[in-house]
Amino acid sequence: MIDIDPITLEIMRNRWRSIADEGCAAMVRTAYSPNIKDRFDCSTAVALPDGQVLAQAEIGTPLHLGIMPAVIRSILDKFPVETIRGGDAIITNLPYPEGPGHLPDISMVSVVHHQGRPIAVVATAAHHVDVGGYAPGSMPLGVTEIYQEGLQIPPTRIISEGKIDKAIFGIIHQNVRTGRELYGDLMAQYAAARTAEQRIVELLSREAPDLVLKSMPAILDHAERCMRAGIAELPDGRYTFEDFMDDDGVTDDPVRIFLTLTIRGDELTADFTGTADQVLGPLNARITAARACVYYAAKAVIDPDLPVSAGAYRPITVIAPEGCVLHARFPAAIGNANILTDQRVVDVLLGAFYQVVPQRVCAACSGEMNLINVGGLDPRTGEYYNYVETYAGGQGAFFDVDGQDGIHTHLTNTRNTPIEVIEQAYPLRVNCYALIPDSEGPGKYRGGCGVVRELTCLGQRTNTSLGADRRKFTPWGLEGGQHARGAYGMVTSPDGSVRQLPTKVFATLSQGDRLRIETPGGGGWGDPQERDGNAIAKDIEEGLISRERAGSVYGLNRE
């Protein structure tokens, strides 16, 4: 153990985290695309030169956490750390062999030096609007290889001592639909890097540099102690759980996710052996993302306040055999794994943790992120537009409280785009944005309701990717709690004809078409017949549960 007193440790830990926070705030405030500026689909981390993450910004997405060390390592393999100068920025979005879960997540890495020695790495990841490929938003459905999903950028020095490489950027710009946004967002990532770098330099000038350097491994060790103490409290044993995704959007075959969770002493192993082989459609996850899922679930279950750093994950082992859907081989398509497969992996993890600490988990949540990715020419300006959003669903119920209605869960916490912004920025009209009555998973404590949003397309051709799941395998309940309603999508043409859409689809919609998206609810907890009468009465009064359902499912007017 490194010799550093507990008070200094706590102070230094807060400082490193606030450095990451400040970097992320600069990125959000200067970014161009709604994904980052409104929805915070971005992260900033500070790491040791070997890629071990020391601190991560509070906002941001848990998925990026598992990805950062691999991204940093892949960049440093090509650009040895001492060759990255101050003001340089290296970017990559290469998922294979180990990297981000999909191509729109571009990472940027820069290095902070002290007295000629690299002492820290600042890494950002941001979900860019579009990186080219088959469909706007670069997360197409129905594709089978990564080449269809967009531009792959190997580790590349895009900025040299503050100057952007115009030739390289020109190639990227030419191959994406919204080059202007991409440039603005890359600059925002650079603003984060420079801000964090400046704070680190200040820290080193104010404190004894030895102490600062010593604090870095000590912070990792402290996080490790916290995690081990948390795991040690859990009963030892082997626990298994499985769930299925409906299909991969190319074939109709269900996709099995199988987990064996082993807790022994102060260590935890999540072994996904038994999970389905990789699939044709773009649901193939990276092992980096599988790790992120396990880290998320462990922190959420053990203690949401556990310090976030690489040290916390030393007692955790993640196994996913190469060739399975969680560890696919090149060049499998991957684009929707982040929003579908990974979210389902968390449901499976919580299903296993339910057997360990039932009171700390909820029943299945919507289990997918309901991605909508719309693009085309805006008839008002003649320019290309691209609208990306993920829609919330219901949260699963707990042993003592209902799940929440219409809320993002687990791996995503991005905000919605205001209706007044959608209509101003894109050729779309929003007809409704509401909770879906009777979509909850019934239970003594009910799951949350799903959400419906209906959009009218005003452009001539509206290219639409929808990524959803949980129509066949709906969100499950626990302890006798029931399944929630699943995901639906449909299009109503101006002539009144209605067609149902598959959960995973790429479609070109015509002017006046109305696109309706309905997200799943959350699973229930306990027997619905035991639900408190006042709670049922309130649900009826609020119009979230119909009288019929209250009678048939909850046994209202029961004796």
Partner 1 sequence: MKIRIGIDTGGTFTDVVAFEQQHDRLLFLKVPSTPDDPGKALVQGVGRATDQVGGDADAIHLLVHGTTVATNVILQRAGAKVALITTRGFRDVLHIQRQSRPRLYDMRLHRAAPLVPRARRFEIDERILYDGSVDTPLQVADLEPLIEIIKREQVEAVAVAMLHSHVNPQHEIEAGRFLEKHLPGVTVCLSHDLLREHGEYERFSTCVMNAYVQPVMQRYLGRLDEALRAESIAAPLVVMKSNGGVMAAELVANHCVQTILSGPAGGVVAGAAIAAHHSNRNLITADMGGTSFDVAVIEDGRVSFSRDAEIDGLALQTPMLDLHTVGAGGGSIGWVDAGGSLRVGPRSAGAAPGPACYGLGGNLPTVTDANLVLGRLAEKSRLAGGLELDVEAARRVIHDQLAKPLGMTIDQVGEGMIRVVNTTMVAAIRKLTVERGHDPRMFSLCAFGGAGPLHGAELAEEIGIGETLIPMAPGVTSALGLLMSNLREDRVRTFIKLVDQVDTDQVQAMFAEMSGEARQSLAFGPMTEPVFATTRRLGLRYHGQGYDLPVDVGSGLIDLEAICRDFHTAHEKMYGYSREDEPVELVNLWVSEQIDLQAVKLPEAPPGPGPGKSSSPAASAPSRSRQVVFAGQRHDTPVYDREALSAGVEFVGPAIVEQIDSTTMILPDQHARVDRYGQIILGGMSQRGTL
Site string for partner 1, 205-244 (x = CB under 8 A): -xxx--x----------xx-xx--xx--------------
| Overall size of the chain counted in residues | 559
Residues 294-353 touching partner 1, rule: CB under 8 A, are 296, 299-300, 303-305, 307
The residues with which 107 forms a beta bridge, in sequence order, are 92, 125
Site string for partner 1, 346-385 (x = CB under 8 A): ---------------xx-----------------------
Residues 28-47 touching partner 1, rule: CB under 8 A, are 28-34, 37-38
If the CB atoms of residues 319 and 407 are measured against partner 1, the closer one turns out to be: 407
Handedness of CA 243, 278, 135, 63 (dihedral sign): positive
Residues 74-93 touching partner 1, rule: CB under 8 A, are none
Question: Distance between CA atoms of 360 and 385, rounded to whole angstroms?
Answer: 43
User: What are residue 76's phi and psi, to 5 degrees?
Assistant: -70, -25
* Region from 81-89, 419-427, 470-478, 482-490 binding partner 1, contact rule CB under 8 A: 419-427
If the CB atoms of residues 94 and 125 are measured against partner 1, the closer one turns out to be: 125
Judged by CB under 8 A, does residue 160 bind partner 1? no
Residues 424-443 touching partner 1, rule: CB under 8 A, are 424, 429-435
Residues 488-517 touching partner 1, rule: CB under 8 A, are none
Say if CB 402 and CB 444 are below 8 A apart.
Answer: no
Site string for partner 1, 378-397 (x = CB under 8 A): -------------xx--x--
Judged by CB under 8 A, does residue 251 bind partner 1? no
Token couple for 3:
């010799």
If the CB atoms of residues 34 and 282 are measured against partner 1, the closer one turns out to be: 34
* Region from 44-52, 100-108, 202-210, 497-505 binding partner 1, contact rule CB under 8 A: 202-210
* Region from 8-16, 75-83, 97-105, 252-260 binding partner 1, contact rule CB under 8 A: 8-16
Question: Distance between CA atoms of 218 and 1, rounded to whole angstroms?
Answer: 8
Tokens 């503050």 belong to residue: 162
* DSSP helix/strand/coil, 346: helix
Judged by CB under 8 A, does residue 177 bind partner 1? no
**Cα angle value 550/551/554 (rounded, 5°):** 60
Token couple for 33:
């695309």
Shortest Cβ 548–partner 1 spacing (Å): 18
Judged by CB under 8 A, does residue 406 bind partner 1? yes
Question: Distance between CA atoms of 110 and 91, rounded to whole angstroms?
Answer: 9
What is the Cα 92 distance to its own chain's centre?
Answer: 18
If the CB atoms of residues 7 and 167 are measured against partner 1, the closer one turns out to be: 7
Say if CB 108 and CB 186 are below 8 A apart.
Answer: yes
Judged by CB under 8 A, does residue 413 bind partner 1? yes
Site string for partner 1, 44-63 (x = CB under 8 A): --------------xx--x-
Question: Distance between CA atoms of 94 and 80, rounded to whole angstroms?
Answer: 18
Question: Distance between CA atoms of 457 and 322, rounded to whole angstroms?
Answer: 42
Helical (H) or strand (E) element with 26: helix 6-30
Token couple for 339:
């929003």
